Structure 1
Amino acid sequence: MYDLIVVGAGPAGATLARLAGARLRTLLVDRRTGACELGPRGAKCCGGLLAPDAQRALAALGLGLPGDALVGPQLFAVRAIDVASGRERHYPRSYLNVDRGRFDAWLRALVPPEVEVRMGVRAVALRDEGTAIAVELWGPRGPCVERARLVVGADGAGSRVRRLAFPRTPEPTTYVAIQEWFEARSADPCYTALFDAAATDFYGWAIPKADRLVIGAALPQGGDAPARFARIVAALEGAGVRHGRTLGREGTLLHRPAPAELLCGGGRVALAGEAAGFVSPSSAEGVSFALRSAAALAEALEPGLDGWFARYRARTAGLRRAIRWKSWKSPALYVPLVRRAILASGVGAMAVGESPRATPARLAALARAPR
């Protein structure tokens, strides 16, 4: 029997296994195969930018990012575009542009050899046996059942562990994220964030990745999501974001939590990262929350598994405060009148020479398009 079964080998699960695996008998499983190909088949559907919060979280863990996890160009500005008003501004912000597949693989490579790692394996059922949790796993060798004193769901938005262990607890508001990879026609060295209330009450993005361009959007769930995504792509084209032929499309679920929707777990099941709801409701940034929640859970487990929940809850108080603050900040980005006033003011913006500008006439035409 294991002390820990960690479901999900992304930043939260791999970090927890690294920090706790030398002390506790640990099994780490992930449904992905671990392929490291840049593009729609290479990793989780993710823009692959490490924001300053994520950089600070890596520093706090004593980690330095290897060069082969980076992909050019490195980005030092956000280009914010509002379709309804036709306004745009550039804001200084420093990101690390990473290959998400290689980033995750690097974190898994740091897991100590004492930890058993199984890739291409899904957790499909949980059963509380009193002194342990039985986990039914499906993988390349067929089904099996493993037992642990504590199961950790680090399996992201739509977490199966969360749904199985806490079926009566509502999940955070969930969006579908769609990304499409294109051949890049030109390198626009900034992170473009596009706001179009006719397509989504969240946002769309464009990020250069070496000789490719990834365009994505967080969209309300529903059958019209592909049409909404097409509108985002067209709006970015109207703003001068050029791309070549498509290389593939990917999608995933994405949480946008309210503070009351966070859930650390209970009993013999803990939750970390986005499975717990730890993700920014204003930007959808999740890597910093994944790393910090994993570190908090590892610290909570140091004295032993008894009493883990109270210690974990106490150590994630700062994460809950951060999400509460970002929930309060969201109206500045997502209430159209407020956003328009901020862009019009130019507060915090910078001048950028010879960068592509939004074409007001084309954006205005998109804003008048049927909804």
Structure 2
Amino acid sequence: MYDIIIVGAGPAGANLARLIGNQYKVLLIDKRDRENEKPSNLSHKCCGGLLAPDAQKMIAFLGLGIPGDILVDPQLFAVRTIDLSAKLERLYQRFYFNIDREKFDRWFISLIPDTVEKKFNASFLDYSEIPGGYEVRYIYNNQLISEKAKVVVGADGASSRVRHLITKSSRSSIAVPDKYIAIQEWFECAYKLPYYTAIFDEEISDFYSWIIPKGNSLLLGAALKPRENTREKYELLKSKLTQLDYHFGNKVKSESAFILRPTKTSQLFTGKDSTALIGEAAGAISPSSAEGISYALKSSYYLAQSLEGGIDGFLDRYSHKMNHIKLNLQLKNLKSPAMYNPSLRKLAMKSGLQSIK
């Protein structure tokens, strides 16, 4: 029997495995190809690949330094903010690292100790309670595998299968964050933009859209409400930006993924019994920017801390530590109206406060 099975090897799952791998017998499984040196596009995370200051701070706190080959050109220090509805725009100074997200994830996996058993290209199916823990079932090499563990950790993102199974088996209802679908396309780009771009337009989304230069490509993405003509709204966004002299070359690839937007602290769910959730699976993601790496690292660190005292009572300790993230989400939601209320955003942008002249 394993002590802990972690479902999902993104920054949350990989960081947890890194921190507890020498204390517990751990199995880490992920549906993506994490061992092939030339992975397919299916293994890539749909992500803009900007490392925000909160994530930088958390990496520093963990005592880590990012290898240079994870950074990609250009490294920019400004965000062009466009309100298409109000026909306003401003330039703001910001400090993001432009990174290759696939290399970033693989770097974190490389930090996991050899004591952790890893199964990639493994599709998690479900788990059931047994005496002393759980029986976990997944598909690996076209075979149904069954393993036993005392603890199951869901680090499997916005569409967390682990969270779904907990919700399904729970007698009480569990609040779920709003769900959006992120559509992102990569285009060939011969010219260099000196800024990132954030776009707001209520006709397209009540969240936001983005443009990110990355190497010789330009990324155009949007967070859209599912089942509300998402493709048509994405094409409308592209059309409006073309009128603003953004030029999108040949399309290299398309990506999409669900993202969560927690609007209430009750939507942060840490788990039940001996099943825990970390990262976006727990609802830990910024409701104002959809930044998730800092929350993935912080929640996995809190869970590792909670397991230092043993498995008994770990979930209560973890839930208590996650109150820090609850408070953070509360503050982010207080900040959101200034960004997403059209009238307040218009006032803020017209004032020119903190903008670059």
TM-score, normalised on structure 2? 0.95
Alpha carbons of 1:198 and 1:247: their partners in 2 closer, same or farther (altered >3 Å)?
same
Aligned to 1:4: 4
Q: Is the 8 A contact 1:89 1:350 kept in 2?
A: yes
Aligned length: 351
Aligned to 2:356: 350
Aligned to 1:159: 160
Q: Deviations over 1:326-361 (max 9, x none)?
A: 01111111111111111111001003xxxxxxxxxx
Local SS of the residue matching 2:286: coil
Q: Deviations over 1:66-95 (max 9, x none)?
A: 011111111211111000111100111110
Residue 318 in 1 paired to residue 324 in 2? yes
Aligned to 2:205: 200
Q: Is the 8 A contact 1:6 1:27 kept in 2?
A: yes
Q: Deviations over 1:98-148 (max 9, x none)?
A: 100000000000000000111111111110113111111112241111111
1:294-333, aligned counterparts within 5 Å?
294-333=300-339
Residue 104 in 1 paired to residue 105 in 2? yes
Distance in 1 between the 2:7 and 2:150 partners?
14
Distance in 1 between the 2:42 and 2:243 partners?
28
Which of residues 244, 248, 252 in structure 2 aligns to 1:247? 252
Distance in 2 between the 1:91 and 1:41 partners?
34
Aligned to 2:262: 257
Query: How far is the alpha carbon of 1:37 from its aligned partner?
Result: 6.5
Q: Deviations over 1:279-309 (max 9, x none)?
A: 0000000000000000000000001000101
Q: Is the 8 A contact 2:3 2:151 kept in 1?
A: yes
Local SS of the residue matching 1:201: strand
Alpha carbons of 1:78 and 1:243: their partners in 2 closer, same or farther (altered >3 Å)?
same
1:273-292, aligned counterparts within 5 Å?
273-292=279-298
Q: Is the 8 A contact 1:36 1:102 kept in 2?
A: no
Aligned to 1:117: 118
Query: How far is the alpha carbon of 1:38 from its aligned partner?
Result: 9.7
Letter in 2 for 1:282: S
Task: Give unmatched runs, 5+ long, in structure 1.
Answer: 352-371
1:136-147, aligned counterparts within 5 Å?
136-147=137-148
Letter in 2 for 1:241: Y
Query: How far is the alpha carbon of 1:268 from its aligned partner?
Result: 1.3
1:354-369, aligned counterparts within 5 Å?
none
Letter in 1 for 2:346: R
Residue 184 in 1 paired to residue 189 in 2? yes
Residue 237 in 1 paired to residue 242 in 2? yes
Aligned to 1:63: 64
Aligned to 2:31: 31
Distance in 2 between the 1:153 and 1:171 partners?
15
Aligned to 1:15: 15
Aligned to 1:219: 224
Letter in 2 for 1:53: D
Local SS of the residue matching 2:299: helix
Letter in 2 for 1:22: N
TM-score, normalised on structure 1? 0.92
Q: Is the 8 A contact 1:185 1:242 kept in 2?
A: no
Distance in 2 between the 1:245 and 1:322 partners?
40
Query: How far is the alpha carbon of 1:240 from its aligned partner?
Result: 2.8
Distance in 2 between the 1:343 and 1:223 partners?
28
1:85-96, aligned counterparts within 5 Å?
85-96=86-97
Local SS of the residue matching 2:91: strand
Distance in 2 between the 1:234 and 1:57 partners?
38
Aligned to 1:361: none
Higher mean Cα deviation, 119-128 or 232-241?
232-241
Distance in 2 between the 1:20 and 1:182 partners?
40
Over the residues paired in the alignment, what is the CA RMSD in angstroms? 1.4
Alpha carbons of 1:42 and 1:209: their partners in 2 closer, same or farther (altered >3 Å)?
farther
Q: Deviations over 1:179-210 (max 9, x none)?
A: 00110131112210000100100010000110
Distance in 1 between the 2:103 and 2:38 partners?
8
Local SS of the residue matching 2:94: strand
* Percent of pairs with identical residues: 44
Alpha carbons of 1:337 and 1:38: their partners in 2 closer, same or farther (altered >3 Å)?
farther
